[in-house]
């Protein structure tokens, strides 16, 4: 699992200055930011924040911890998640508009369930429904001069493949709690975020908590197909009510934490890869299969795919890239990291030759390197032909790309065109690549069309600053949540917070103009996911779900009084 988690390094975070070689460059109350003279004035190598817990609400936090330890609270929380799982809010890519396609209606049952399960949330918070099914809850604070905090999640889940039903230990929409695991589709992605945040707010309301800072809870409806209808409507609503850059921070699903080499590594994702799905279509003359050409349209398409896969994207390391910063964190904190790797990482800080040597070593020895550090391509869909004795007039594939944080949609489009163009020329075809024509279409044996398959191309996300107060706040809250955990493995194990890189795309793609401080973090331990998300036997360890609720409790109470936001 070395370097296999969503890790990224930090340049500058708050620390306690205890050595003669460090000096304070910023101070706010008890929080200090330090520089190490031995590393130079501009090196901040994954220094760690102190744990942050509330002072004004210290007793309330203790009460919440005690309440969370009771069996009644735990069983109620487990059933809240289980009941949500039993409502199959599956989302398909071919959905029509909300209000027109009846398949959206299942969300009404989920809304009725949420109202019955969280009565105080629905009595005390202002609820707004946007685009029929997306939910926004506003929890008004007493001090309107403070920027609110935005907590988001999504209500939908990926569909269950009917052919896999007999492979599930428990039925996929049972929400069954077997004493350790809560089973079902959505138990990992993302109904824990939905139910966990609502449970935390409901519990705080039960305790009589009245916030000083405002909080907004926003729950999308189609994150699993890009947030086309849900997150876009939420964004437009929040912009109309609050305006751009109006939130102090945003926390959505994403990174989690896990143990490796005796350290708990927590990785709130501050960056997110881009995306481009390329539809590559070959159009050729039809005819009877008894008189085929040397290469049919499907044969030509196969040659194009072969050329693509013969030219995979080569990952690179950049000193300002997120993955290189992840390596810096390992070099600083992981004593079990091989000495040769640590040496290369440290020498690469200034040496271009060492950076190339490190890149070559990781390419050769770490299979996950190309997936994390580079742009990926996967040919996922192929269609062509209608009859066994008729030459195919049209055939196409869809190629999925996750774009490295140092690249762009435009750069990827240009590279894709450059790879396939020699094959297109070889077969005497013309090409239209993303609206730009190549070759003489009238004098060719066919035509190739490259396009954005679904119209959802996305550049890599802006990177959340890791040198400011918001990152310190999130880091300190995560460390405090781990330190207060009743699970000995977490509370007794050294933890390191590392800004991470999200390889997928979340609803946050639509929220970039609401705040600069976006953290994709769900406080899930990797060992608390039975078989992961989007697959057979998705299940969440019940005690892990309690840790998510604990994190939300602490996040809300800290945000309500912290000078860092």
Q: Is 330 annotated as a binding residue?
A: no
Q: 224: annotated binding-site residue?
A: yes
Number of residues written out for the chain: 565
236 annotated ligand-binding residue: no
Which residue in 8, 156, 222, 281 is the catalytic one? Answer: 156
Cα atoms in the Cβ-side hemisphere of radius 13 Å centred on 386: 5
Instruction: Give the position of tokens 């202002």.
Output: 126
Cα within 13 Å of Cα(266), Cβ side = 27
Strand stretches in 362-429, DSSP E: 376-384, 394-403
| Of 397, 395, 370, 400, nearest in space to 385 by CA | 395
3-state secondary structure of 522: strand
Distances (CA, A) of 6 to 268, 371, 448, 504: 8, 11, 37, 11
User: What are the tokens at 169?
Assistant: 């230990």
- From the list 223, 405, 469, 560, the catalytic residue is 223
What is the Cα 454 distance to its own chain's centre?
A: 20
Between strands 518-525 and 249-260, the pairing is parallel
225-228's contacts with Cβ under 8 Å and 24+ in sequence apart are 225/91, 225/92, 225/93, 225/95, 226/454, 226/456, 226/505, 226/509, 227/154, 227/507, 227/509, 227/510, 228/456
Q: Indicate if 105 belongs to the active site.
A: no
For this structure, is 223 an active site residue? Answer: yes
Specify binding-site residues. Answer: 154, 189, 224, 252, 534
Binding site per annotation, positions for Zn(2+): 154, 189, 224, 252, 534
Name the residues annotated as catalytic.
156, 223
């Amino acid at each position: 699992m070395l370097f296999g988690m969503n890790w990224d390094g930090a340049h500058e975070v708050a620390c306690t200055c205890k050595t003669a070689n460090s000096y304070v460059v910023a101070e706010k109350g008890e929080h200090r930011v330090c520089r190490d003279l031995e590393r130079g004035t501009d090196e901040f190598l994954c220094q760690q924040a102190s744990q942050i817990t509330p002072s004004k609400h210290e007793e309330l936090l203790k009460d919440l911890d005690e309440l969370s330890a009771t069996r009644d609270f735990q069983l109620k929380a487990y059933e809240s998640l289980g009941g949500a799982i039993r409502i199959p809010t599956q989302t398909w890519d071919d959905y029509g508009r909300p209000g027109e396609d009846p398949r959206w209606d299942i969300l009404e049952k989920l809304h009725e369930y949420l109202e019955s399960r969280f009565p105080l949330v629905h009595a005390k918070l202002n609820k707004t429904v946007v685009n029929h099914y997306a939910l926004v809850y506003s929890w008004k604070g007493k001090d309107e001069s403070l920027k609110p905090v935005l907590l988001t999640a999504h209500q939908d889940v990926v569909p269950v493949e009917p052919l896999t039903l007999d492979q599930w230990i428990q039925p996929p929409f049972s929400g069954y709690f077997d004493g350790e695991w809560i089973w079902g589709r959505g138990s990992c992605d993302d109904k824990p975020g939905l139910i966990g945040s609502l449970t935390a707010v409901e519990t705080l309301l039960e305790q009589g908590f009245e916030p000083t800072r405002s909080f907004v809870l926003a729950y999308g409806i189609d994150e699993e197909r890009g947030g086309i209808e849900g997150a876009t409507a939420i964004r437009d609503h929040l912009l109309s009510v609050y305006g751009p850059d109006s939130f102090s921070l945003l926390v959505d699903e994403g990174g989690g934490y896990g143990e490796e080499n005796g350290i708990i590594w927590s990785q709130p994702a501050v960056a997110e890869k881009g995306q481009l799905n390329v539809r590559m279509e070959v159009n050729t003359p039809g005819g009877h299969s008894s008189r085929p050409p040397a290469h049919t349209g499907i044969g030509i398409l196969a040659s194009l795919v072969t050329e693509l896969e013969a030219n995979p994207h080569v990952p690179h390391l950049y000193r300002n890239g997120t993955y290189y910063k992840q390596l810096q964190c390992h070099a600083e904190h992981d004593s079990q990291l091989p000495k040769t790797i640590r040496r290369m990482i440290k020498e690469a800080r200034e040496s271009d030759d060492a950076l190339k040597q490190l890149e070559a070593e990781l390419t050769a020895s770490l299979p996950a390197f190309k997936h994390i550090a580079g742009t990926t391509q996967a040919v996922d869909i192929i269609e062509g032909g209608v009859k066994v004795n008729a030459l195919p007039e049209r055939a196409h594939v869809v190629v999925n790309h996750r774009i490295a944080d140092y690249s762009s949609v435009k750069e990827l489009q240009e590279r894709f065109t450059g790879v396939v163009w020699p094959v297109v020329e070889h077969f005497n075809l013309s090409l239209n690549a993303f609206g730009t024509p190549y070759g003489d279409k009238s004098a060719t044996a066919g035509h190739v069309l490259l396009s954005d398959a679904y119209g959802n191309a996305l550049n890599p996300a802006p990177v959340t600053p890791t040198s400011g107060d918001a990152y310190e706040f999130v880091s300190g809250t995560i460390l405090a949540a781990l330190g207060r955990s009743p699970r000995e493995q977490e509370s007794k194990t050294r933890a390191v917070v590392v800004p991470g890189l999200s390889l997928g795309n979340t609803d946050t793609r639509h929220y970039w103009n609401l705040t600069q401080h976006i953290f994709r973090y769900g406080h899930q331990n990797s060992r608390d996911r039975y078989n992961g998300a989007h697959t057979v036997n998705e299940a969440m360890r019940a005690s892990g779900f309690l840790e998510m609720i604990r994190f939300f409790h602490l996040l809300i109470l800290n945000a309500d009084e912290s000078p860092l936001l």
